[in-house]
Amino acid sequence: MYIKGEWITLARNFPVNNPANGEQIGEVADGERQHAVIAIEAAANALPAWSSCSAYERSSALYRAHQLMMERQPQLAELMTREQGKPLKAATNEVKYAADFLLWFAEEAKRIYGETIPSARSDQRFLVHKQPVGVVAAVTPWNYPISMLTRKIAPALAAGCTVVLKPAEATPLCAIAVFEILHEAGIPAGVVNLVTAADPAPIGLEFCTNPLVRKLTFTGSTAVGKKLAQDAAPQLKRVSMELGGHAPFIVFDDADPVHAAKGVSLVKFLNTGQACISPNRIFVQDSIATAFIETLQQRVEKMRAGDGMDPANSIGPLVNQVAVDKVDRQVQDAVAAGATLHCGGKRLSEDGLDKGYFYAPTLLSGIRPDMLIYREETFGPVAPVITFSEEDDVLSMANDTSYGLAAYIYTQNLSRAVRTFEGLQFGIVGINDINPTSAAAPFGGMKESGLGREGAREGIEEYLETKLGGFSI
């Protein structure tokens, strides 16, 4: 763990395993609730000095961290592939994405603007001032184990906040590597703190109930997000949540079905489908469904699963056995209810894959609303295709979910694109675009997919309070 600028070891540790082969690749300190208390106190003590630093000083520290992360991109990517499982190319791209947040908020630190407001009284002046919210507690996920850290840490530090972070228990080594960079970048002692633990519940409860923590930021499942928000509510803490998704991918009949199928194959199977913005329901207008499914099947059948260190492999492992069981349960339920299985549909065990958590890239069609996969977030390498006839029908079907994170549209009709973009109840919509994300763009969802936004100008506002001064002169 990293608390008050020092690395701390404990007698009790927990192992970290490679999900591709089950091998132990390290072990980390198994922290308890008392360590969260110590880390929060360290952050609170460091807050006055850090928040008093000039914006340019905070910016310089983030610039240094960005430079170090890019210098270590190959090593960080390899560590991520071994610890999380994603192919090395995808891990390399994630490190760049993570560094982008350090760079973006190094710049935004110098753009925290206030304003003056005219008064009806000639002897009065109004001054609006932005100041850091205080100590921030952050909980990050395993599926993007480096970029999700910088997406929270960078704006918090830029705003003048101090941070205590608990990483996912499946990927603590990536978090340690990030904090090594922050340490070497010269972030002062206590400004950033890392608490690792095999059991996240006690740490999360301390984050929610400790009065020194003024903001909680979480990325993970909707169920856990609701629990954390409930625990934080009595103190009215600031809360931001990036939660689950159930993204629709809509292909209209004026789109090129081959081009659309290629697009969905890239984004659906990214990170083995373990992404909150992964398409979970693929709606295809019936007149082009056959061509779309044929192309998608050809591409899915060519995908090769295996250890991410092998560049020939494009599909990595799922995170654990629970994830494998969930994916298989959805597939078997759909097939039993009449869905057509075009390829995949089973756990992979040949050629040594039985040592890891691999599931075959899967394509289903004939999906109906009464099937589990239609309602539940999959978080795995399964592409379920649903056909539709009318534009109004598909908009209603796409919005028929409690989630509202990401959605995708393929069409060449500008009017249809605008109508659908405006009608979809989702925070992020890609129009003929499978990657509508960037450090410069706001990321977040509606409904039960979260609260607040990360990245962009909006990202730093999540860590700032607005203070009004009324001056009588």
Just list the catalytic residues. 242, 276
Show the beta-strand stretches assigned E in 77-184.
115-117, 124-132, 135-139, 162-166
Q: Are 340 and 366 in contact (CB under 8 A)?
A: yes
**Residue 449 in 3-state DSSP?**
helix
Q: Compute CA 362 distance to the chain's CA centroid, rounded to the nearest angstrom.
A: 23
Q: Are 331 and 382 in contact (CB under 8 A)?
A: yes
Query: Over the range 93-127, which residues count as b (16 or more CB within 10 Å of their CB) and which as e?
Result: bbbebbbbbbbbbbebbeebeeeeeeeeeeeeeee
CA 26 – CA 17 distance, rounded (Å): 7
Give 239's contacts (C-beta < 8 A, 6+ positions apart).
Answer: 215, 216, 217, 218, 228, 229, 232, 451, 452
Handedness of CA 42, 43, 49, 50 (dihedral sign): positive
CA proximity to 105, closest of 160, 177, 44, 163: 160
The four Cα atoms 350, 354, 359, 362 give a dihedral, to 10 degrees, of: 20
185 has which bridge partners? none
CA 361 – CA 381 distance, rounded (Å): 5
- In order, the DSSP letters of 38-81 are HHHHHHHHHHHHHHHS-HHHHHHHHHHHHHHHHHTHHHHHHHHH
Handedness of CA 43, 47, 51, 52 (dihedral sign): negative
Q: List the helix and strand counts (H, then E) for the chain.
A: 15, 20
DSSP state at residue 263: H
The total of other beta-carbon atoms located within 10 Å of residue 415's CB is: 8
Q: How many CA atoms lie within 13 A of 423 on its CB side?
A: 19
The total of other beta-carbon atoms located within 10 Å of residue 389's CB is: 11
Q: Are 197 and 172 in contact (CB under 8 A)?
A: no
Q: How many CA atoms lie within 13 A of 272 on its CB side?
A: 31
Q: Compute CA 304 distance to the chain's CA centroid, rounded to the nearest angstrom.
A: 25
